[in-house]
Amino acid sequence: MTSKACRDDISKFAMSMSFTHLGTGSRGNSTLIECGDYKVLVDQGFSGRQLERRLARMEIKPSEINAILLTHHHGDHGGGAAIATKRWDIPIICNYKTATSLNLEIEKTRIFENLEVIKIAEDFALLPVPVPHSGADNVAFVASHNGERGAVVTDLGSWTNELANHLHGCQHISIEANYDHNKLWNGPYPSSLKERISSRGGHLSNDQTGQFLANVVTENTRSIVLTHLSEQNNAPHIAESSVLYHLDDLFEGDIRISLQDGPDFTHHVGQSEAELNSIEGIYLRG
């Protein structure tokens, strides 16, 4: 991670969005999206102490977070939202089912409807797009700034044409690749759990993620992060190779894996190649 001075140097470049996964998996999920001076989290599935520790690796204090947007109410995505707003007064933005399921104070929570633009700043907004996930009113978020778009998609067993339309041509896509089909079905889980995971309301397999990405990736797509890998039923090299098999020659950008113990890397969206090379130099000097 960079020092404070390096972060200040990076901020001198034209304002862009960046995506950093603080950790993804069954033990907690949270993604930091930065745009200029604005910082928001998509999901907060960590304890207050864990969130503080992970942000500290980027020299960010929780009090600097402008808002937490929740995809859904499951504990590994929204279980730490209440403590974050209580401890640091961070506003929570979510839909009604998520708020009530987490027992959030409705009068202190910003409630959105599906496909309602959530404006964070003049040219920085997020769009909640519904995705199928059993027992939850789940959404993906598509962040936009200055014509550039980046998506965070997690916890879905299938996809819709609507989701594909909103992700088509995104410059950055973070999406779950939860399990390898063979490892799941040959593993120790009971049949009922295997069926739930692989159902339309469960999670995406590596192959399903690859098939979906093959429908939405274009020449504009510069980075992909595979998230929420099952520690029991998947492995990073299996996930990456399976997804790339389906993408074939469609994608020539950067693909990485986000695991449980982050943050490990950041993707910047909306900068020229020269600016990105300069940023890389700043990281190296830091």
What is the per-residue pLDDT across 18-73, written as a single tens digit (0 to 9) for each?
A: 999 999 999 999 999 999 999 999 999 999 999 999 999 999 999 999 999 999 99
Instruction: Indicate whether 275 belongs to any domain.
Output: no
Phi, psi of 14 (to 5 degrees): -50, 140
Return mean pLDDT, the chain.
91
Does residue 192 or residue 281 have the better pLDDT? 192
CB distance 109 to 115 below 8 Å? no
Domain count, the chain: 1
Domain span at residue 137? Answer: 4-262
- DSSP letter at 205? B
CB distance 106 to 99 below 8 Å? yes
- How far is it between the farthest Cα atoms of the chain? 54
State which amino acid sits at residue 98.
T
The rounded distance, in Å, linking the Cα atoms of 230 and 244 is 18
The rounded distance, in Å, linking the Cα atoms of 282 and 142 is 28
| pLDDT for residue 240 | 98
Tell me the three state secondary structure of residue 128. strand
Residue range 207-212: average pLDDT? 98
Instruction: Indicate whether 29 belongs to any domain.
Output: yes
| pLDDT for residue 135 | 81
Instruction: Indicate whether 46 belongs to any domain.
Output: yes
Q: Hey, what are 257's tokens?
A: 């894996």
The rounded distance, in Å, linking the Cα atoms of 225 and 7 is 22
What's the sign of the alpha-carbon dihedral 33, 225, 23, 106? positive
% of the chain with per-residue pLDDT over 70: 89
Instruction: Indicate whether 277 belongs to any domain.
Output: no
The rounded distance, in Å, linking the Cα atoms of 158 and 132 is 7
279 confidence band (pLDDT: 50, 70, 90):
very low
CATH code assigned at 177: 3.60.15.10
Residue range 249-256: average pLDDT? 94
274, pLDDT greater than 90:
no
7 confidence band (pLDDT: 50, 70, 90):
low
% of the chain with per-residue pLDDT over 90: 85
198 confidence band (pLDDT: 50, 70, 90):
very high
Instruction: Indicate whether 280 belongs to any domain.
Output: no
Instruction: Indicate whether 93 belongs to any domain.
Output: yes
Q: Residues near 122 by Cβ (< 8 Å), separated by ≥ 6?
A: none
> No. of H helices and E strands in the chain?
11, 14
Instruction: Indicate whether 185 belongs to any domain.
Output: yes
97, pLDDT greater than 70:
yes
**What contacts 24+ positions apart, CB below 8 Å, involve 162-166?**
162/129, 162/130, 163/129, 163/130, 163/131, 164/212, 164/215, 164/216, 166/127, 166/129, 166/140, 166/142
Instruction: Indicate whether 273 belongs to any domain.
Output: no
pTM across the whole model: 0.90
Which residue is listed with tokens 């939202």?
81
258, pLDDT greater than 60:
yes
